[in-house]
Amino acid sequence: NAGVTQTPKFRILKIGQSMTLQCTQDMNHNYMYWYRQDPGMGLKLIYYSVGAGITDKGEVPNGYNVSRSTTEDFPLRLELAAPSQTSVYFCASERGTNTGELFFGEGSRLTVL
């Protein structure tokens, strides 16, 4: 009964480095999302996907890329890390269609120095 699993939980990057945050879900949900959470700012949508092979930009996509080759996996890539990308990242999947009932992973805390 894993739900949504994110790795890694913590990571420190140097400016200009690249990395991928992994996200996988075992609930066969079509819709998946990546959010970032900054202190006092709530959650901002980075990218989302409505199914395998389909992705779209959210509110704050700059500096990130995603892919969705399978229903289960939705990795988020940071190509050239910048201090502004220091944040906590949450992956989520949605039960059903347009239900708004999201299941979140435990988050990945990223620090860029």
64 binds another protein (CB under 8 A): no
What is the SS3 assignment for 109? strand
Among 46, 105, 110, 112, binds another protein (CB under 8 A): 105
Strands 4-7 and 31-37: unpaired
26 binds another protein (CB under 8 A): no
Cβ atoms of residues 79 and 16 within 8 Å:
no
Question: Does the bond joining 8 to the residue before it have cis omega, within 30 degrees of 0?
Answer: yes
28 binds another protein (CB under 8 A): no
Using CB under 8 A as the criterion, which residues of the chain lie in contact with another protein when the complex forms? 4, 31, 33, 35, 40-43, 45, 48, 50, 56, 58, 90, 92, 94, 97-102, 104-107
